[in-house]
Amino acid sequence: MKESEMRKTLILLLLMLPIVLAACSGSADVMEINLEASGMQYQPATIEVVAGKPVKLTFHNGDSLEHDFSIMEIPLMTVGATAEPMAGHDMGNMTTDPQLHMAAAMNSTNSMEFTPTKPGTYEFFCTVPGHKEAGMVGTLVVKSP
Ligand SMILES: [Cu+2]
């Protein structure tokens, strides 16, 4: 290889370095999931994620009443809510708080980040009285990495 070619190759490598570094940093590794609630149904009703991989769940409520997304028990590494808890959110007469909970007012969107740690099948549902019974229930499948 001639010296000028070598220099070109070196410059090219240096130019590519920031791109490689950016690809390795955390944010690119977040799994983005979109969940929709409308007509007392979750869409999709089954969500698949991977254990140990951060998930960003965006919950859009297209109904004209309040809905939420709750899982009673799920092993987690981190939970970060990007929105404030909703004031006056009615969770019925629940004695224990769900481990994972996110509410969305009518025609609004909310999101949160969490990392599931244990493979398995977890039920999610809406805690607003009557909604689970009306069909607001789904399955979160945590697969082995
Ligand atoms: Cu609901």
Distance 39 CA to ligand 1 centre (A): 9
Q: Cα–Cα–Cα angle for 112, 65, 121, nearest 5°?
A: 45
What pLDDT, on the 0 to 100 scale, is given for residue 97?
A: 83
Q: What is the pLDDT of residue 77?
A: 85
**The pair of three-digit structure tokens given for residue 74, joined into one six-digit string:** 């799920």
CA 142 to ligand 1 centroid distance, Å: 23
How many Å lie between the centroid of ligand 1 and the Cα of residue 131? 5
The first and second tokens of residue 31, run together, are 């799994």
- What does the pLDDT read at residue 121? 98
pLDDT, tens digit, for every residue of 105-136?
999 999 999 999 999 999 999 999 999 999 99
CB 126, CB 132: distance < 8 Å: yes
Query: Which is nearest to 70 in space by CA: 82, 59, 83?
Result: 59
Q: What is the pTM of this model?
A: 0.74
Query: Residues of 6-16 as b/e, b for ≥16 C-beta within 10 angstroms?
Result: eeeeeeeeeee
The per-residue pLDDT for 29 is: 87
CA 130 to ligand 1 centroid distance, Å: 8
Q: Which residues in the chain belong to E strands, given as ranges?
A: 31-38, 41-43, 46-50, 55-61, 67-71, 76-81, 100-104, 108-116, 120-125, 137-143
HSE (side-chain half, CA atoms, 13 Å) at 50: 8
Structure-token pair, residue 53: 């991989």
**Whether the Cβ atoms of residue 82 and residue 112 lie closer than 8 Å to each other:** yes
CA of 109 to the centre of ligand 1 (A): 14
Between the CA of 67 and the centroid of ligand 1 the distance, in Å, is 4
Q: Which residues of the chain have pLDDT under 50?
A: 25-27, 83
